[in-house]
Amino acid sequence: MKENFYIGTYSNNIVICELNNGKLQIINKIEGIEKPSYLHKNGNILYAVSETKIGGIATFEIKDRELLTPLDFRIINQSLPCYVTTNKKRNCLLVANYTSGSVNMYHIHPNGQIDRLLYYKSYENAHMHFADFVGNYIYAIDLGNNCIYVYNLKMELQSTIQMDDNIGPRHLAISKDEKIIYIITENSNQIFIYSKKNNVFTLEQKVKTLINKNIISYAGAIKINSSNHNIYVTNRGDNTISVFEVNKTRLKLVQNISSYGKFPRDICLSQKEDYALIANQKSNNVVMYKINKVDGKILQKVQTIEIDQPACIINNIF
């Protein structure tokens, strides 16, 4: 089985890689988009932010393994968009804009192109880093104000999770039943675990992502595997990957290994979860590891490929 990985970068291209029989190779580069630093795929449509001062969203159709066909480019006039996603129905798109401190929701045409603006939220001193659909809600992470906003699907505020000062919440992972959220904080290098019951969030645990606590580092990506038995975190500065064992609302750090590069910004598991790819932004490389499918630990590095300023990795099966 062949599997593609699409790699967003802080250069001006999206890199397409193919994983076949345990070997990763670059098969194409899609040029002409300024800083396509975050990607999202829904069906045969791929979206890429253009993380610039005026901000933009590029829309592509995936027609075959080696090609992305441009459909649209929308200037959104929001500074530094850094996260994009769609709902399961593929009719709404969310964008989180870091410097503007805003979240935009757009209607999507049936062909995948972005239509009209539906809703817009912004806050003073905000740095919005994440916004995603979770069931009948939208969770948005504000790094600047150290909180998570919970909206309904009309983006009416339902509740706010106010976190500790200056910790810098960045991204989150969520359990299959959507009753537990795991929030990564880039300034304090922690995971905050909250349980949800009757729309009330309760803090259950805080756990550090680092073993070496005397180094300057910033937690980056957080991903949970399909079994919900393991969480993977990248540590930018410490240049490591941390693997946690998950027992519902309790996490245990079971592994901390080198990223074999500088500033690991993202991690992506293969479809079978037997490989993991790491985007090392400042050393211009992507590293592939073999994963033990029994306990979720990383076994060893198996390959490194050179890619200019990789920032985000998503996968696709052909």
What confidence score (pLDDT) does residue 292 get? 98
The CATH homologous superfamily to which domain 35-263+287-301 belongs is YVTN repeat-like/Quinoprotein amine dehydrogenase (2.130.10.10)
Pick the closest to residue 104 from 91, 89, 90, 116 (CA basis): 116
Distance CA 142, CA 151 (A): 13
Find the mean pLDDT for residues 199-220. Answer: 94
What confidence score (pLDDT) does residue 46 get? 97
Pick the closest to residue 200 from 163, 169, 161 (CA basis): 161
Please say whether the beta carbons of 286 and 264 come within 8 A. no
Residue 26 has pLDDT above 80, yes or no: yes
- Which residue's structure tokens are 């810098």? 168
282 in helix, strand or coil?
helix
Which tens digits make up the pLDDT trace of 244-275?
Answer: 999 999 999 999 999 999 999 999 999 999 99
- Which residue's structure tokens are 């969030």? 201
What confidence score (pLDDT) does residue 318 get? 64
Ranges of each domain in the chain: 1-32+264-286+302-318, 35-263+287-301
Which tens digits make up the pLDDT trace of 102-153?
Answer: 999 999 999 999 999 999 999 999 999 999 999 999 999 999 999 999 999 9
Q: Where are the beta strands (DSSP E) in 32-168?
A: 39-42, 45-50, 56-64, 67-75, 81-86, 92-97, 102-108, 114-122, 128-134, 137-142, 147-152, 157-162
Other beta carbons less than 10 A from residue 50's beta carbon: 22
Which tens digits make up the pLDDT trace of 220-237?
Answer: 999 999 999 999 999 999
Distance, CA of 93 to chain centre: 15
What band does 199 get if pLDDT is binned at 50, 70 and 90?
A: confident
